[in-house]
Structure 1
């Protein structure tokens, strides 16, 4: 209990991993991909022409937002898209997301106490 009080007074910052995401998609699906990245808190960094009617989209996205990306990308592109990512850096979690994480943690703690 003492640790928890001191910890909260220290104004801790919750960080999340950000990944560099590269998505190869047919030109016809670019709009779907950019819209989807926006819903995943992604930041577009650019596009390169991959030739053959494909583009490579580059974006920074929180790792938590790409855990189900394979299924979504396949659905959006009819199985024609592919992606890869690597950890880029860490950033503070936005306040609205922090609230969700803290609430989930409290629920988990309460479940463990029972």
Structure 2
């Protein structure tokens, strides 16, 4: 006799892999200071946040001169910033294409430490990214639909209603039409069922990532509101 094992599945709607970035250069000074008996904590840093080209990821750079921040504390700044890059200020998505530059600061002979500078970097991130006009990015897919000509109008209309942008039309042997379009991934869930219904199962499609692009403001607001509900 074989014992049957039952696993309870948690089924949720597919999640879009959003990203966050910034639109302009911003500089912020953040002082972390804590005194509660005994040795305190002190770190003073000025960080400049700069947007980078798409696909560059994130980068840290130090422009400290003259020992304003001792060399042994700089890794604390870098670690604090790196920790924050996985959780953006808009809706908690990973941050990409941002350069963080440590440009100035000061320290205390007794109260400064790597940890203090790490905590200061976290505060500088929260303030600086908000000053840098944060934006949300969404994956945009290159979608090719192969459809009989009689269904071409329905296919195009549906893609256009899904925030799609047509690149081209082409002919394919066998009397098929090929629609090449850019469509946000968020609009493509359940598309296989939609396409099958529109074309009586006679059309097919391929999809691959083309780029990340800025999310429309009203959708960004919705995502940010959901993040606030989760955090509450």
Same-fold status (TM-score > 0.5): yes
Structure ranking higher on relative contact order (CA contacts 8 Å, 6+ apart): 1
List aligned pairs for 1:48-67, cutoff 5 A: 48-67=170-189
1:25-44 paired onto structure 2 within 5 Å: 25-44=147-166
Moved over 3 A (4+): 2-7
* Aligned twin of 1:92: 214
Unaligned runs of 5+ in 1: none
Deviations 1:13-48 (A, max 9, x none): 111111110001111111111111111100001111
1:95-114 residue CA offsets vs partner (Å, 9 max, x unmatched): 1211121122222323xxxx
The alignment's TM-score, normalised by the length of structure 1, stands at 0.86
Between Structure 1 and Structure 2, which shows a larger proportion of helix residues? 1
Q: Which one has the largest radius of gyration?
A: 2
How many equivalent residue pairs?
Answer: 110
Structure 1 residue 70 corresponds to structure 2 residue 192: yes
In the alignment, the residues of structure 2 paired with residue 53 and residue 107 of structure 1 have an alpha-carbon distance, to the nearest angstrom, of 51
Report the RMSD for the aligned CA atoms in angstroms: 1.7
TM-score (norm 2): 0.44
Unmatched runs of 5 consecutive residues or more in structure 2:
1-122
Q: Distance in 2 between matches of 1:61 and 1:28?
A: 22
